[in-house]
Amino acid sequence: MNKKIQLLDLGQKDYKETWEYQEQLFKDIVDLKIRNRREELDLETPNYFLFVEHPHVYTLGKSGDLSNLLLSEKQLEVKGATFYKINRGGDITYHGPGQIVGYPILDLENFFTDIHKYLRFLEEVIIRVLADYHIIGIRSEGETGVWIGVGTPFARKICAMGVRASRWVTMHGFALNVNSDLGYFDNIIPCGIRGKAVSTLNVELGVEKVNEEEVKEKILKHFNELFESEFVSFKADTV
């Protein structure tokens, strides 16, 4: 089993371009697995992890409700935001500057074949990162992602998650609000859940800005601990 993960930080990148790049990496892994099976080979399958920050964009998962987007096409234009229906699970979410988005594109047969466990591990990575900042992040029953203050009148989501998997290969991932502009969440019913707020790491800490590179380092550390993986640098020829 190959537990090395090729790491690439794309910086700020258009959502559609990144989605297409994810799809290509995903397809390459799936195609290799099909070839291994057909030709009775045992070629090693790669794993990838992309960090990215998107310009303002709203995305709707395949099971999502379009009515959870509260803006018209013209209003989206005024806000400088785009909108895409995509092939992950979950409902609607927002991506934008100040948010750390992670896309693990893994062959889970290199780790474990359990999608439920995979999602719980992604949540646990973020829970441990928050704990490093002395913030108690928890799960909310029946709602994927990481929350603060569940069980109180002030429950708020700090990290959204949505994944796609086929032949045990994953794509899409998580979006952790670090220094995000919370005003953009007012234009949607986040994840289709009414009556619960959204927060960011800098708001929870009461600071103007959190060092995002430091947060990324913590994410990778806890990811490695849980998945027993090793990150190696990866440079793409074209993205």
Question: d(Cα 127, Cα 197) in Å, to the nearest integer?
Answer: 18
- Catalytic residue numbers read 191
Would the annotation count 174 as a binding residue?
yes
Number of H helices, E strands in the chain: 5, 12
Would the annotation count 175 as a binding residue?
yes
Would the annotation count 160 as a binding residue?
yes
- Residue whose entry in the numeric block shows the structure tokens 């290969």: 169
Would the annotation count 11 as a binding residue?
no
Would the annotation count 186 as a binding residue?
no
Q: How far is CA 94 from CA 37, 53, 72, 180, 197, in A?
A: 38, 11, 15, 10, 13
User: Which tokens go with 231?
Assistant: 């990150």
Would the annotation count 90 as a binding residue?
yes
Q: Strand 169-177 vs strand 99-105: parallel, antiparallel, or unpaired?
A: antiparallel
Would the annotation count 91 as a binding residue?
yes
Annotated binding-site positions for substrate: 88-95, 160-162, 173-175
Annotated binding-site positions: 88-95, 160-162, 173-175
